[in-house]
Amino acid sequence: QVQLVQSGAEVKKPGASVKVSCKASGYTFTSYDINWVRQATGQGLEWMGWMNPNSGNTGYAQKFQGRVTMTRNTSISTAYMELSSLRSEDTAVYYCARVAGIAVAGIDYWGQGTLVTVSS
């Protein structure tokens, strides 16, 4: 079965960086795009960007350009999202999510979420 397993919760100080991992299993990792989505407590979903695990091509939401980097290691079927220059407003649950094939194209599987807390 398809699974996306994310790394554990993180606590960071303002100005620091965080790198969240997302290990995929149950399907061919390079065949489906990965999106990253975050959600602050009690708030809505916020799309951060996408990555094509096959090519490594990425696209980032304008809000995060210059601060976010999405990468992958195909040998271990793992995607990464690194966010730098953290501020308190970045405190949120971060999800990796698989985009279904072209016939559907919505997000069909989500990771369990990683809580990132930014606090001095």
For 88, phi and psi rounded to 5 degrees?
-60, -30
Q: Is residue 27 close enough to count as binding other proteins by CB under 8 A?
A: no
Contacting range for other proteins; rule: CB under 8 A; set: 11-19, 70-78, 80-88, 97-105? 97-105
Structure tokens at 67: 């601060």
SS3 14: coil
Cβ distance to other proteins smaller for residue 41 or 75? 41
Number of residues that bind other proteins (CB under 8 A): 22
Residue 4: CB minimum distance to other proteins, A: 9
Contacting range for other proteins; rule: CB under 8 A; set: 14-22, 37-45, 66-74, 83-91? 37-45
CB atoms within 10 A of CB 44: 6
Of residues 47 through 76, those in contact with other proteins by CB under 8 A are: 47, 50, 59, 61-63
**Cα–Cα distance, 52 to 66 (Å, whole number):** 19
Eight-class DSSP state of 42 = T
Cβ distance to other proteins smaller for residue 53 or 111? 111
- The residue ranges that bind other proteins (CB under 8 A) are 35, 37, 44-47, 50, 59, 61-63, 95, 100, 104-108, 110-113
